[in-house]
C-alpha cells in the first residue's frame, strides 16, 4: 500500500554525519527559508571553510537525514562544556532544516530526537537552541518537544 | 583622589584565561544570583570536570576579570563553526557574571567588549547569547551593547 501524502516517513529515514559531497544540498536546505535566504547566500567557499572547521572540531557535528538516497534534513550539534548548572555540558542545536516537501510528516521530530540521543551519548545535561521571533510555528514545535521557552535570544554582528 | 563608590574600575581590571585555582571563586560568582543559585550548586567535582573539559577544548575559553588581585567577573566563550549565515563562525557567550559589589561601574560592559574582541580574533562574524526571561535588567544591558533581541531561547533537560 503506497504512503498517503501525509504518512510519516521516519521509519525510512537514516541519520548520519555529513560528508563534503552533502554540502551544496545542506546550503540549499538552510537557504530555503524566508528568514534565512538572504543571510545564508549561494553555496561557495565560505560554506566549505565552515564545513572544514566543523569537521576539524571534536565538539561539533553536522548531521543529515537521508531518505531514499536523498538528503532531506540537516542540523548542527555543538557540545559545550561548562561550569554553570553544576558543571553541565550543553547540547547546542543550530540550523535545523527539513525539506519543505516533507514538512508535517514527523521528520523534524525525528531529527530532534536524534539530536537529543547524541547529546545524551556525549553526557549533555541540557539541550538549548534559539529560534527567530519571526518563526511562531517553530516555537510551537519546540514547545511540543518539551522545551521551555524560558530565555530571550540576542545576536550582535561582530 | 580616591575613587568615588560609583567610579569606573575598568582601567584597573585585567582579563585573562581562568586557571584551576580560580574555579571555586568562579562557582561562587555564578551561584551569587537569584536565578542561578539553586541550579549551580556548591563547588564540587562536577565543576572540576567542567573546568577540565573547557581546558581540553580548543573552541572554549573560560575568562576571569581580575581587580587588585581578586577575581571579580567571569564568562565563558565558545567559538562555534557553522554553515548558516554564509559559513559564519559564532561567538557563544555563557555564564556572564560580575561581582555584585561592583555592578554599575562598567565592568560588565568591559567584560563583553573583551568577549567581542576575542571573537573577532577567532574570526567570528556574530556574537550570540541567551538570557533568562526573568532578567529584564540584563536584557536592557545587552540591548545597550547593540544586541538585537531577535530570538526566543529554548532549553530542555536531557
pLDDT in tens, A141-156: 999 999 999 999 999 9
Task: Specify if A152 maps to a domain.
Answer: no
Prediction ipTM score: 0.92
Task: Specify if B154 maps to a domain.
Answer: no
Question: With contacts defined as CB-CB under 8 Å, which chain B residues touch A129?
Answer: 153-154
Task: Specify if A101 maps to a domain.
Answer: yes
Task: Specify if A150 maps to a domain.
Answer: no
pLDDT digits (tens, 9 = 90+) for B15-42: 999 999 999 999 999 998 777 777 777 8
Domain limits for position B73: 10-144
d(C-alpha A101, C-alpha B79), whole Å: 33
Q: Which CATH number goes with the domain that contains B122?
A: 3.40.630.30
Q: Cβ of A153 and B155 within 8 Å?
A: no
Task: Specify if A34 maps to a domain.
Answer: yes
What pLDDT, on the 0 to 100 scale, is given for residue A1?
Answer: 45
pTM, whole model, 2 decimals? 0.92
- On average, the pLDDT of chain B sits at 92
Q: Which residue has the cell 533537560?
A: B157
If you average pLDDT over residues A41-62, what whole number do you get?
95
Number of residue pairs across A and B with CB atoms under 8 Å? Answer: 234
| Beta carbons within 8 Å of B64's beta carbon, 6+ residues apart | B15, B16, B17, B18, B22, B25, B26, B71, B73, B74
Residue A126 pLDDT > 50: yes
Q: Cβ of B154 and A150 within 8 Å?
A: yes
Task: Specify if A151 maps to a domain.
Answer: no
Task: Specify if B23 maps to a domain.
Answer: yes
Beta bridge partners of B148: A155
Q: Which residue has the cell 501525509?
A: A6
Task: Specify if B2 maps to a domain.
Answer: no
List the single best residue of B36, B86, B128 to mutate versus A (max A Cβ within 10 A). B86
pLDDT above 90: percentage of residues in chain B: 84
What pLDDT, on the 0 to 100 scale, is given for residue B5?
Answer: 54
CB-based burial, A117-140: b 16+ in 10 Å, e otherwise = ebbeeeebbbbbbbbbeebeebbe
**Contact between residue A78 and residue B78 where contact means Cβ atoms under 8 Å apart:** yes
DSSP, collapsed to helix, strand or coil, labels residue B9 as coil
pLDDT above 70: percentage of residues in chain B: 95
List the single best residue of B87, B97, B113, B128 to mutate versus A (max A Cβ within 10 A). B87
pLDDT digits (tens, 9 = 90+) for A71-80: 999 999 999 9
What pLDDT, on the 0 to 100 scale, is given for residue B7?
Answer: 66
Indicate the pLDDT class of residue A37, thresholds 50, 70 and 90.
confident
Cell of A112: 530532534
Q: Which residue has the cell 572547521?
A: A53
- On average, the pLDDT of chain A sits at 92
pLDDT digits (tens, 9 = 90+) for B91-105: 999 999 999 999 889
Select the residue of A44, A78, A151 nearest B155 (Cβ to Cβ).
A151
3-state secondary structure chain A: CCCCCCCCCHHHEEEEECCHHHHHHHHHHHHCCCCCHHHHCCCCHHHHHHHHHHHHCCCEEEEEEEECCEEEEEEEEEEECCCHHHHCEEEEEEEEEECHHHCCCCHHHHHHHHHHHHHHHCCEEEEEEEEECCCHHHHHHHHHCCCEEEEEEEEEEC
Select the residue of A41, A83, A156 nearest B62 (Cβ to Cβ).
A83
Q: How many structural domains is chain A composed of?
A: 1
Cell of A64: 543529515
Residue bearing the bigger pLDDT, B135 or A8: B135
What pLDDT, on the 0 to 100 scale, is given for residue B37?
Answer: 72
If you average pLDDT over residues A74-93, what whole number do you get?
96
Amino acid at each position: 500500500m503506497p504512503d498517503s501524502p501525509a504518512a510519516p516517513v521516519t521509519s525510512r529515514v537514516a541519520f548520519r554525519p555529513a560528508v563534503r559531497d552533502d554540502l551544496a544540498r545542506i546550503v540549499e536546505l538552510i537557504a530555503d527559508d524566508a528568514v534565512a535566504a538572504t543571510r545564508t547566500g549561494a553555496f561557495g567557499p565560505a560554506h566549505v571553510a565552515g564545513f572544514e572547521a566543523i569537521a576539524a572540531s571534536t565538539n561539533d557535528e553536522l548531521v543529515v537525514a537521508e531518505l531514499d538516497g536523498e538528503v532531506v534534513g540537516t542540523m548542527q550539534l555543538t557540545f559545550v562544556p561548562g561550569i554553570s548548572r553544576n558543571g553541565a555540558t550543553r547540547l547546542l542545536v543550530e540550523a535545523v532544516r527539513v525539506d519543505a516537501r516533507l514538512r508535517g510528516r514527523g521528520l523534524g521530530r525525528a531529527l530532534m530526537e536524534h539530536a537529543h540521543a547524541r547529546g545524551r551519548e556525549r553526557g549533555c545535561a541540557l539541550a538549548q537552541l534559539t529560534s527567530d521571533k519571526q518563526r511562531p510555528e517553530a516555537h510551537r514545535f519546540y514547545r511540543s518537544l518539551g522545551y521551555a521557552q524560558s530565555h530571550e535570544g540576542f545576536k550582535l554582528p561582530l
